[in-house]
């Protein structure tokens, strides 16, 4: 029990306290250890964690093949892929002019070939798939059910259109006409009076046309209806306010959780 529980908790407490107070202590030995060696040890252990993950994966895929579980044929591809990368990493350079060690970053090596033509395309494509799902989800699930959802949607649309070159080419007068149309639909659904709707829409269109003609239809005036300016304002002010509130909340939460780990209150890393 001592080895499995108390010692890990002691390690977290000692190392956590040392690292935290290392920010405030000027004593050379402690500062040297915290800033240099402790950091290096962290890097080394992070690397071993990666090896553990890799070997665990290999173990699971091999078990799947040996026990002929469902889809075991595909596991052969995973195992072959793993060993192919290991051979390129440890046994066959492909470029005799490059030393072992730098071969993982140098040109002309089998390792670089694997990165360029296998790893990079696979990783990039996995993420690119999400573009399709986001479009499908937007169409099928994004609904204006209440005022908050409307705010979210409108802010999202303004950012999406205002942030790209297309938004710069949409005149603010077009947006004003669109707003008059949306206003007309809203008035119709609230008052259910065709007369009110007709008056509102006609007056709106006449007013905008008259003002626009007199000013010569400038693309970006009035600024509040020009999408790039509007998205810039949303991006820099109300969006920052909301994001800042979230960030401060998360920051305080992380501080509290870190202290809980150091004091030994939180023990999820040993499964408790």
Partner 1 sequence: MKFLTDLILKMGTVDRRWIFLVIALVVIVPLFYPLGLPIRATATTQHVYDTIDALPHGSKVLVSCEYGPSTKPEIHPMVLSVMRHLFKNEHKVYVTCLWPDGQFLASDALDLVGRDEYGLTYGEDYVLLGFRPGNEAVVKGIVSNLRKLYTIDAKGTKITEIPMMEGVNRFEDFDFLFSASAGYPGTIEWVQYAADPTNVPMSTGTTSIQVNEVMPYVSAGQVQGILAGMPGAAEYEALIGVPGIGTSGMDAQSVAHLVIVLFIVLGNIGYFIERHRSKKY
Partner 2 sequence: MFGEIFGAWVAAFLTLAIFSFLYKDNPFYKIAEHIFVGVSAGYWTSMFFWTQIQPNLFGRLWPSTHYSDGIWYGVYDLFGIFSSSIFPEGGIDKGHEMHLMYLIPFALGIMMLLSLFKKLSWFARWGIAYTVGMAAGLRAYGYLNSNVIGQIKGTIIPLSDPDLPFFSLLEASHFNNLVILVGTVTGLLYFFFSKEHTGNFGKVTRVGIYFLMISFGASFGFAVMGRISLLIGRFVDLIAYSGAQYHHASIWVLVIMVALLGYSAFTDKGDPNTDVS
Residue numbers of the site for partner 1 (CB under 8 A)? Answer: 31, 35-36, 38-40, 42-43, 46-47, 50, 99, 101-102, 105-107, 112, 115-116, 119-121, 123-124, 126-128, 131-132, 134-136, 138-140, 142-144, 153, 157, 160-161, 163-169, 228, 232, 235-236, 239-240, 243-244, 247
Which of residues 20 and 180 has its CB atom nearest to partner 2 in the complex? 20
The yes or no reply on residue 151 touching partner 2 (CB under 8 A) is yes
Nearest distance in Å: CB 25, partner 1: 13
Q: Which two tokens stand for residue 226?
A: 């020009």
The partner in contact with residue 169, picked from partner 1, partner 2, none with C-beta cut-offs of 5 to 8 angstroms by kind, is: partner 1
The rounded distance, in Å, linking the Cα atoms of 38 and 35 is 7
Distance of CA 116 to the CA centre of its chain: 23
Q: Which of 152-160, 172-180, 184-192, 202-210 is the region at the interface with partner 2 (rule: CB under 8 A)?
A: 152-160
Report if residue 81 touches partner 2, rule: CB under 8 A.
Answer: yes
Q: Looking at residue 104, what DSSP letter applies?
A: G
- Of 53 and 218, which has the nearer Cβ to partner 2? 53
Note the maximum CA span of the chain: 85
CA distance 53 to 47: 10
- Out of 47, 63, 169, 213, the residue judged to bind partner 2 by CB under 8 A: 47
What minimum distance in Å lies between the beta carbon of 244 and partner 1?
4
Alpha-carbon torsion, ordered 139, 140, 143, 148, to 10 deg: -80
Q: Is 126 in the site for partner 2 (CB under 8 A)?
A: yes
Q: Is residue 72 close enough to count as binding partner 2 by CB under 8 A?
A: no
**Helix/strand/coil for 14:** helix
Which of 98, 111, 175, 227 is the binder for partner 2 (CB under 8 A)?
Answer: 111
143's contact among partner 1, partner 2, none, with CB below 5 to 8 A by partner kind, is partner 1
Question: If binding is defined by CB under 8 A, does position 169 make contact with partner 2?
Answer: no
Residue-level length of the chain: 272
Q: Which lies closer to partner 2 via its Cβ, residue 156 or residue 213?
A: 156
CB 82 within 8 A of CB 119: no
For partner 1, the closer of residues 71 and 101 by Cβ is: 101
Q: How far apart are CA 74 and CA 65, in angstroms?
A: 9
Q: Are 79 and 87 in contact (CB under 8 A)?
A: no
Query: What is the rounded distance in angstroms from the CA atom of residue 76 to the CA atom of residue 101?
Result: 28
Is 46 one of the binding residues for partner 2 (CB under 8 A)?
yes
Nearest-approach distance from CB 141 to partner 1, in angstroms: 8
Dihedral over Cα of 35, 38, 42, 44: its sign:
positive
CA 200 to CA 208: how far, in whole Å?
A: 12
């Amino acid at each position: 029990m001592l080895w499995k529980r108390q010692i890990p908790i002691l390690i977290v407490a000692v190392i956590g306290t040392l690292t935290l107070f290392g920010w405030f202590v000027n004593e050379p030995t402690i500062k040297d250890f915290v800033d240099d060696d402790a950091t290096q040890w962290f890097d080394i252990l992070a690397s071993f964690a990666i090896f553990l993950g890799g070997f665990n994966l290999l173990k699971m895929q091999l078990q799947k093949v040996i026990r002929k579980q469902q889809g075991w044929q595909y596991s052969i591809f995973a195992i072959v892929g793993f060993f192919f990368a290991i051979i390129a990493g440890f046994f066959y350079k492909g470029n005799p002019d490059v030393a072992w060690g730098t071969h993982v970053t140098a040109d002309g090596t089998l390792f670089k070939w694997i990165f360029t033509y296998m790893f990079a395309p696979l990783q990039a494509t996995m993420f690119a798939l999400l573009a399709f799902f986001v479009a499908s989800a937007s169409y099928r699930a994004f609904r204006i059910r209440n005022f908050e959802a409307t705010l979210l949607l409108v802010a999202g649309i303004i950012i999406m259109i205002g942030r790209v070159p297309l938004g710069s080419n949409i005149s603010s007068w077009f947006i004003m006409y669109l707003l008059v149309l949306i206003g007309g639909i809203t008035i119709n659904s609230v008052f259910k009076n065709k007369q009110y709707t007709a008056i509102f829409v006609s007056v709106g269109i006449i007013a905008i046309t008259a003002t626009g003609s007199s000013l010569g239809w400038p693309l970006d005036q009035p600024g509040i209806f020009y999408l790039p300016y509007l998205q810039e304002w949303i991006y820099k002010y109300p969006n920052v306010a909301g994001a800042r509130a979230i960030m401060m909340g998360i920051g305080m939460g992380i501080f509290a959780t870190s202290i809980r780990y150091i004091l030994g209150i939180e023990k999820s890393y040993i499964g408790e």
